[in-house]
Amino acid sequence: MKNNYKYLIWPGTAVLVILAVFLLASTNQVLNTAATTNTVSFSGEGRVVAKPDIAKVQLSIVTEALTSKLAQDDNSKKSKSITDYLKKQNIEDKDIKTTGYNIYPQYKYPQFGGQPQITDYQVNQSIEIKIRDLDKVSNILDGLVSAGANQVNDLSFEIDNPDALKAEARAKAIADAKKKANELKSQVGISLGKIVNFSENTGGYPVPIYMKAEFDSRGGMGGGGPSVPTGENEIVVNVNITYQIK
């Protein structure tokens, strides 16, 4: 008889353990639901406007030759010519960066089928340049084409170190959201508890000025370079703050 009770104790204990775990999980879920259901969220926006302090230029050097080596050698000469020109304009090495280098075989396709034949090779080198003296942008763009750049793809005016401006915009956005929260407290008569969620989104990036280089008989753009007004950049930060309702 005792042995029969012994066999019944273990299954009973297991059932009690399972029930305890279930009740604990259910209680935790109810508490979590209560903590997240009785909430209210407020959005805020902060804007900071500042003049850009650098210009970024994207350019390409494109060369073609019968062999890959000849195309690369020609490309290297033009790249050196551009680098030498930029150094004369007081552009530092850290502000001249190759962002792409590709070699493309050029093919001739037979009219009536057959295997395509390689006719020559094209090398395309992409370079990004930072210009810190904005008064020189127009003349440098003209000089880049004369120095060997085939394409000046785009130009953008930016803020070199935007972190401080982002922090200022964020502070304004948080203040805006908290102002809305205080207004609702007085209007509706609720009491707000702790902040349970915070999210942020930053925008207002500069829009590039897309350019097409126009060559004159001397290989330059002509007219002393393009007109490139810098304007202003706007950094926008949006935040969302969620409070518990007491």
Q: Is residue 68 part of a domain?
A: yes
One domain, residues 219 and 114: yes
One domain, residues 145 and 110: yes
Looking at this protein, which amino acid is placed at residue 32? N
Query: Is 55:95 a contact under the CB 8 Å cutoff?
Result: no
One domain, residues 10 and 73: no
- List of E strands, 173-220: 192-203, 209-210
Instruction: Give the domain range for residue 60.
Output: 53-160+207-229
With both helix axes pointing from N to C terminus, report the angle between 137-147 and 68-88 in degrees, rounded to the nearest 10.
150
Closest CA to 52 of 231, 208, 211, 227: 231
Give this prediction's pTM. Answer: 0.65
Q: Is residue 46 part of a domain?
A: no
Q: What is the pLDDT of residues 92-144, one digit of tens each?
A: 999 999 999 999 999 998 887 788 999 999 999 999 999 999 999 999 999 99
Q: Is residue 106 part of a domain?
A: yes
One domain, residues 140 and 106: yes
One domain, residues 19 and 75: no
Altogether, the residues listed in the chain come to a count of 246
One domain, residues 32 and 62: no
Query: Is 181:198 a contact under the CB 8 Å cutoff?
Result: no
Q: What is the pLDDT of residues 2-37, one digit of tens each?
A: 455 455 455 555 545 454 444 444 434 334 444 456
Q: What is the pLDDT of residues 177-225, one digit of tens each?
A: 999 999 988 888 888 899 999 999 987 655 555 444 444 434 444 445 5
